[in-house]
Homo-oligomer: A and B are copies of this chain.
């Protein structure tokens, strides 16, 4: 812990010099993720009457799909945030601003997920959801690119620049944005695209990423 380390200055601050502050940013981000991921449950509709209780609960399967998908997406982004921030050595005000912008997209997911759960067959709902995920992905990537440009990463992470900032990282954003026109024709096809990206895609993007780092 630093003691009277001097006034915060405009230059980027080293993680150890500013240990508590770095920890607060990370903890705050974790807090927003934990809350957003737990608020996803509010998308479920509690049945209003005991008549047809079974079928009302069965209708919640769309909400369950949206819940599972959003939980997986947010969980994966949280893990990626976690992994990336372990390579960050210093932070500057731009990184903090980008991180807040990123969290604003993350915190939007409980709403877009609820819309998707309620209207999973509708193009508009699918588009809103796809845009929100793309927003999370792009603002995350912006943080990584900035950290490399502003030289905020730890030494061991420097050779991994291509892995973290290369084209493979735009895979998720690209697929979700590409699903927007698809959703206009067929919402189900767009949702299928997401699942393919999410599960098969990672394998592909990992391989892409690794090729160059070695």
- Report A's interface with B, CB cutoff 8 A: 1, 3-8, 16, 18-21, 24-28, 30-42, 44, 46-47, 50, 53-54, 57, 67-68, 71-72, 75, 78-79, 82-83, 86-87, 96, 100, 103-104, 107-108, 110-111, 114-115, 118-119, 121-122, 124-125, 128, 154-157, 160
A-B contact pairs, 27 of them (CB 8 A): A1-B16, A4-B155, A4-B156, A6-B156, A7-B156, A7-B157, A7-B160, A20-B86, A25-B82, A27-B27, A32-B34, A32-B37, A38-B39, A41-B107, A41-B110, A41-B111, A46-B114, A46-B115, A46-B118, A50-B122, A53-B125, A57-B115, A57-B125, A57-B128, A72-B100, A75-B100, A75-B103
| Max count, chain B CB within 10 A of own CB: residue among A24, A41, A79, A119 | A41
CB-CB nearest in chain B for A63: B111
Q: What B residues does A47 contact at CB under 8 A?
A: 115, 118-119
The A interface is mostly helix, strand or loop, or mixed, namely helix
B37 near A39 (CB under 8 angstroms)?
no
Residue from B50, B67, B124, B160 within 8 A of A53 (CB atoms):
B124
Complex: A83 Cα to B96 Cα, angstroms: 12
B37 near A34 (CB under 8 angstroms)?
no
B41 near A108 (CB under 8 angstroms)?
yes
Residue from B1, B34, B53 within 8 A of A122 (CB atoms):
B53
Q: Chain B's nearest CB lies how many Å from the CB of A106? A: 9
Residue from B40, B78, B86, B104 within 8 A of A28 (CB atoms):
B78
Complex: A124 Cα to B54 Cα, angstroms: 6
